[in-house]
């Protein structure tokens, strides 16, 4: 079975810690990258991602919002973009209808905190896709 | 007797036979007839010369002529004739000479040798013919002279004479007709009379023409048109022209009676006019006796008074006059005994309906004029005039009352120069001057001449005739008041341009207006607050989703981890710590919310004059450690405005937050420098707050910079509350805050506050 890596981009340390511990518990072999600054996350994607990766992206960050992050991501090469499976992970309780239309490649918008059920669902959709 | 002698003897003409002897011709023989005609006998004549036989008498001029004729005939051997020769014969009975004329022919008779031998003279008495022809000549002469005279008469007469054929073509005409028809003779002779007939008279004229051709003389008047288009009235006479008892045409006479007709018409018109004047004019003409009894009244009485003229006859005029006017009229009427003419001022006269009409009368005493024999009155109904005069007076009174009692100031001025001609009592009161004073002052003493609105108003008034504006007026004591002026241009009774000015003191209205403006402004503030409240709600939803939900979501996540998995002890400790951190975050948010709510609650806080320099010094003193550690320099310049009337705690908080931000977001390699200065612009105080820090990319973040919980930097701790609080507080003070900045270029905040003395 094809394996995949995980990335978390969020300025909230606690959330990143929760994600790391939960993913480790779900898949002990998975590679998990945590980024507090979205700029660094983008840099990593552009230069280092070489295998399918699930990205949990926060929306509300001081220097760059999740949407701004996606605006830059769109400009990347297709083979890089194809590797990323992006999920918005936010504490917001809005529905983000407009953003869903603007960024159709976003797989789903998930409400914090990250849960086992989300990870299961992601893994299932992943295998189906393959 | 040879037979030729017999022939000679019996020739039916008087004959003589001459024989030439030497140079002379002597009578050889004479025939019977000759002797009878000349009362002579053969013997007397034989052998004699012609001059011997016919001696010179009263009228015998032709003897030489006869001898010459003999010679010519003898020599030429051809007969020679003398057509007429006068030789009067003596009449013994009457002892007078008879006038006789003779035709003489001398015929040469030739011998065998063709030589002339004798002359045969044949004489013919042509006295009758000659005398007759002479008489005829005289007759002819007399006839010619008479004809000439007639023709001249015909040509000179101004009436047109003409003849027409049966078709109506001109056959002959005189100069008079040429003048009347204004057409040349040659032209006329080619024409028919029809073209000269007046449009509506043609049929009538043709009828007359036909009647004349029928043999009846005609005389009529009709309208004709000359060759040059002149209209005229002609009197035409037509007489049939007969030849051998048959009518071959017409003689005609045309007389131009246009002038006569015109003067007839003019006369009848003037007659009518005069008649109209007396009978139909609006003037009433009457003849009264000295007692005032009517002898005659013109028909106009029916029109003017509704009373028929005959009804007046015998009545006394005074009985129709209003009792109040009667004595006055009577008195004046009696003056006619000494005066020729009087004018009676309008008095009331009863008409058929019993209404009083105002009548004005001129009376002339013509009692001594036998054709009149009374007082002639010429009266006119002047009721309308009297009524309109009354109406004018009433309207004048009405306007006078309006002028006297109006609360608004009313003035009449001369346009352009602005001199006052009349001022109402209220105008005097308004400007604290008497009417005389107002009429003497210059416009500049009542209105500031440099007021731009005045020039505009004058321009508008000269263009449209009227203007309505608000101006500031000046009283005598120099105090000013706002007034609304309505001014219009009009023409007075003499046609001179005048302007009316109606001024209303609008001091109170202005005050009300100002209050209203104030209320409006307050309403605007309330509206702003409402908007702010709405914005607050939106921000609350944002706060809920991020700042409240985020720590809660974290706590849930950690709790879940702790519960469902056996974490190593050190991880468990980390997770517990995280729970406390997130609970702390929740608490912070609660406190911040409380802070902002407190801000709104403090809105009604008292304002005071806040000295800016001491405010800055307070902030520095309270944060001395931070300032020292970060090596911050604060340069202030409050020279233009050193104090603001405001809520001190808000201004303190705003300044503190801005200074704190400048320090937090400094450039690492430079010591923070903060410049604060004030300036005054109209009714605003502007506070510039400039640092040399990191700056913000306003293109990206401009709309969020003052937002609640908005943060733009990672490297330092910040809740994103500072600028939100600053903006809220400045707005609470009725001000505004703006920002100028770009990345790496420092940041400048500009605060606008209302300036209050």
E strands, B476-531, are 480-491, 497-505
The edge-to-edge listing of strands for the beta sheet with B246-256 is B170-173, B160-165, B246-256, B231-243, B218-225
> Would you state the pLDDT for residue B679?
92
Which of B126-130, B597-601, B717-721 ranks highest by mean pLDDT?
Answer: B126-130
Overall size of chain B counted in residues: 757
**Alpha carbons A7 and B684: distance in angstroms, whole number:** 53
Does the distance separating the beta carbons of B571 and A18 come in below 8 Å? no
Does B438 score more than 70 pLDDT?
Answer: yes
The pLDDT score that the predictor gives to residue B702 is 66
CB contact under 8 A, A21 and B567: yes
C-alpha B617/C-alpha B606 separation (Å) is 22
ipTM of the prediction: 0.89
The contact set of B with A (CB < 8 A) is 544-546, 549-554, 556-558, 560-561, 564-565, 567, 571, 574-575, 578, 581-582, 710-714, 718, 720
Contact A128, A120 (CB under 8 A): no
Highest mean pLDDT among B111-120, B335-344, B522-531: B335-344
Comparing B578 with B150, which gets the higher pLDDT? B578
Query: Would you state the pLDDT for residue B309?
Result: 83
CA B537 to CA B396: how far, in whole Å? 70
pLDDT value at residue A37:
92
- Cα-based torsion angle of the residue sequence B691, B697, B703, B705 in order, rounded to the nearest 10 degrees: -40
Task: Check CB contact under 8 Å for A92 and B574.
Answer: no
* C-alpha distance across the termini of chain B, in Å: 191
How many angstroms separate the CA of residue B575 from the nearest CA in chain A? 8
Residue-by-residue DSSP string for B182-233: T--HHHHTT-BSGGGB-GGGHHHHHHHHHHHHTT--EEEEEEEE-TT--EEE
CA–CA separation, B389 and B740 (whole Å): 80
pLDDT in tens, B222-240: 999 988 888 888 999 998 8
From residue B612, give the alpha-carbon distance in Å to each of B605, B646, B663, B676. 19, 11, 20, 10
- Backbone φ, ψ for residue B632 (5° rounding): -85, 135
- Give me the residue from B546, B561, B712 closest to A91, CB to CB: B546
Quick: pLDDT tens for B491-540: 887 888 888 889 998 888 888 888 888 888 888 888 877 777 776 666 66
Which whole-number Å values give the CA distances from B386 to B66, B303, B342, B555, B604, in the listed order? 120, 19, 20, 108, 76
How far is Cα B240 from Cα B262, in angstroms, rounded to an integer?
31
Q: Which two tokens stand for residue B490?
A: 């009009």
Residue B269 has pLDDT above 80, yes or no: no
The beta strands (E) that lie in B599-728 are given as: 608-611, 633-637, 643-646, 673-681, 684-691
Range list of β-strands (E), B303-373: 341-350, 356-366
| Closest residue by Cα to residue B722 from B668, B675, B666, B665 | B665
More confident residue, B602 or B146: B146
* Interchain pair B713, A93: CB under 8 A: no
Question: What is the pLDDT averaged over residues B31-58?
Answer: 78
Q: How many beta carbons lie within 10 A of that of residue B369, not counting itself? A: 11
Say yes or no to pLDDT of B563 above 70.
yes
Q: Where are the alpha helices (DSSP H) in B228-322?
A: 258-279, 300-305, 309-312
Q: What is the 3-state secondary structure (H, E, C) of B420-476?
A: EEEECHHHHHHHCCCHHHHHHCCHHHCECCCCHHHHHHHHHHHHHCEEEEEEEEECC
Nearest chain A residue to B566, by CA? A25
- Is pLDDT of B709 > 80? no
The model's pLDDT over B403-433, given as tens digits with 9 standing for 90+, comes to 888 888 998 888 877 888 888 899 999 999 9
Q: What is the pLDDT of residue B717?
A: 57
Q: What is the mean pLDDT of each run of 10 residues along chain A (130 residues)?
A: 85 92 90 93 92 92 88 92 92 82 91 91 77
What pLDDT does residue B726 have? 84
- Tell me whether residues A11 and B714 touch, CB distance under 8 A: yes
Cβ contact B558–A63 (<8 Å): no
Question: Strands A84-90 and A53-57, how do they pair?
Answer: parallel
Per-residue confidence (pLDDT) for residue B757, from 0 to 100? 62
Taking a C-beta distance cutoff of 8 angstroms, is the pair A10, A56 a contact? yes
Q: What is the mean pLDDT of chain B?
A: 84
Chain B residue with Cα closest to A91: B550
What is the pLDDT at residue B46?
Answer: 83
Judged against a pLDDT cut of 80, whether residue B38 lies above it is answered with: no
pLDDT-based confidence at residue B156 (cuts at 50, 70, 90): confident
**Bridge partners of B413?**
B420, B499
């Amino acid at each position: 079975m094809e394996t995949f890596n995980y990335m978390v981009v969020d300025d909230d340390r606690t959330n990143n810690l929760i994600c790391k511990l939960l993913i480790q518990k779900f898949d002990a072999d998975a590679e998990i990258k945590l980024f507090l600054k979205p700029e660094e996350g983008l840099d990593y994607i552009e230069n280092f991602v070489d295998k399918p990766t699930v990205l949990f992206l926060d929306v509300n960050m001081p220097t760059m919002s999740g949407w701004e992050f996606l605006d830059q991501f769109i400009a990347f090469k297709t083979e890089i973009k194809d590797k990323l499976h992006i999920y918005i992970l936010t504490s917001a309780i809005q529905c983000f209808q407009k953003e869903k239309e603007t960024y159709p490649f976003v797989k789903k918008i998930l409400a914090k905190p990250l849960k086992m059920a989300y990870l299961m669902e992601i893994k299932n959709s992943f295998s189906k896709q393959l | 007797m040879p037979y030729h002698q017999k022939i000679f003897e019996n020739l039916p003409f008087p004959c003589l036979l001459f024989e030439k002897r030497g140079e002379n011709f002597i009578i050889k023989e004479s025939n019977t007839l000759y002797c009878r005609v000349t009362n002579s006998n053969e013997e007397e004549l034989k052998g004699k010369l012609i001059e011997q036989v016919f001696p010179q008498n009263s009228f015998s001029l032709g003897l030489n002529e006869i001898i010459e004729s003999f010679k010519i005939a003898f020599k030429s051997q051809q007969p020679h004739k003398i057509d007429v020769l006068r030789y009067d014969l003596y009449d013994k009975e009457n002892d007078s000479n008879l006038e006789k004329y003779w035709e003489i022919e001398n015929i040469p008779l030739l011998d065998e040798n063709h030589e002339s031998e004798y002359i045969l003279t044949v004489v013919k008495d042509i006295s009758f013919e000659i005398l007759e022809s002479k008489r005829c000549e005289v007759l002819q002469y007399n006839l010619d002279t008479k004809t000439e005279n007639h023709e001249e008469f015909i040509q000179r007469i101004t009436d047109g004479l003409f003849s027409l054929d049966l078709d109506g073509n001109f056959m002959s005409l005189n100069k008079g007709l040429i003048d009347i028809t204004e057409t040349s003779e040659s032209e006329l002779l080619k024409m028919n009379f029809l073209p000269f007939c007046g449009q509506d008279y043609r049929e009538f004229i043709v009828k007359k023409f036909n009647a004349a051709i029928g043999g009846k003389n005609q005389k009529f008047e009709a309208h004709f048109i000359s060759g040059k288009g002149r209209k005229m009235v002609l009197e035409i006479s037509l007489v049939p022209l007969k030849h051998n008892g048959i009518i071959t045409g017409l003689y005609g006479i045309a007389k131009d009676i246009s002038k006569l007709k015109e003067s007839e018409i003019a006369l009848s018109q003037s007659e009518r006019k005069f008649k109209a004047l007396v009978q139909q004019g609006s003037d009433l003409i009457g003849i009264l006796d000295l007692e005032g009894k009517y002898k005659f009244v013109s028909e106009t009485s029916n029109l003017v008074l509704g009373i028929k003229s005959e009804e007046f006859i015998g009545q006394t005029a005074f009985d129709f006059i209003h009792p109040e006017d009667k004595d006055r009229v009577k008195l004046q009427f009696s003056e006619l005994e000494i005066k020729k003419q009087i004018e009676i001022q309008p008095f009331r006269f009863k008409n058929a309906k019993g209404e009083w009409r105002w009548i004005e009368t001129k009376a002339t005493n013509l009692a001594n004029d036998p054709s009149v024999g009374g007082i002639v009155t010429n009266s006119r109904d002047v009721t309308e005039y009297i009524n309109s005069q009354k109406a004018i007076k009433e309207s004048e009174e009405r306007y006078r009352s309006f002028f006297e009692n109006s609360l608004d100031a009313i003035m009449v001025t001369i346009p352009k120069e602005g001199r006052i001609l009349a001022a109402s009592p209220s105008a005097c009161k308004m400007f604290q001057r008497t009417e005389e004073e107002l009429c003497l002052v210059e416009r500049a003493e009542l209105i500031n001449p440099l007021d731009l609105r005045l020039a505009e108003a004058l321009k508008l008034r000269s263009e449209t005739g009227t203007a309505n504006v608000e101006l500031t007026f000046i009283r005598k004591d120099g105090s000013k008041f706002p007034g609304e002026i309505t001014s219009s241009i009009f023409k007075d009774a003499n046609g001179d341009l005048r302007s009316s000015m109606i001024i209303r003191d609008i001091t109170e209205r202005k005050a009300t207006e100002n209050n209203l403006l104030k209320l409006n402004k307050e309403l605007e503030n309330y509206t702003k607050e409402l908007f702010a409240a709405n914005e607050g709600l939106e921000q609350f939803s944002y706060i809920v989703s991020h700042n409240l939900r985020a720590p809660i979501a974290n706590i849930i996540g950690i709790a879940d981890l702790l519960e469902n998995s056996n974490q190593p002890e050190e991880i468990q400790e980390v997770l517990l710590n995280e729970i406390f951190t997130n609970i702390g975050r929740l608490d912070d948010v609660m406190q911040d919310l409380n802070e902002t709510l407190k801000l709104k609650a403090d809105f009604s806080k008292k304002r005071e004059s806040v000295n800016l320099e001491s405010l800055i010094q307070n902030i520095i003193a309270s944060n001395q450690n931070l300032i020292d550690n970060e090596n911050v320099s604060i340069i202030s310049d409050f020279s233009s405005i050193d104090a603001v009337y405001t809520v001190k705690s808000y201004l303190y908080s705003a300044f503190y937050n801005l200074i704190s931000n400048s320090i937090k977001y400094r450039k690492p390699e430079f010591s923070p420098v903060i410049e604060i200065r004030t300036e005054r612009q109209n009714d605003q105080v502007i506070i510039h707050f400039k640092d040399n820090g990191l700056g913000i990319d306003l293109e990206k973040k401009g709309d969020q910079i003052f937002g609640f919980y908005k943060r733009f930097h990672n490297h330092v701790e910040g809740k994103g509350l500072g600028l939100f609080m600053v903006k809220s507080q400045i707005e609470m003070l009725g001000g505004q805050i703006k920002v100028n900045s770009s990345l790496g270029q420092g940041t400048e905040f500009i605060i606008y506050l209302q300036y209050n003395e």
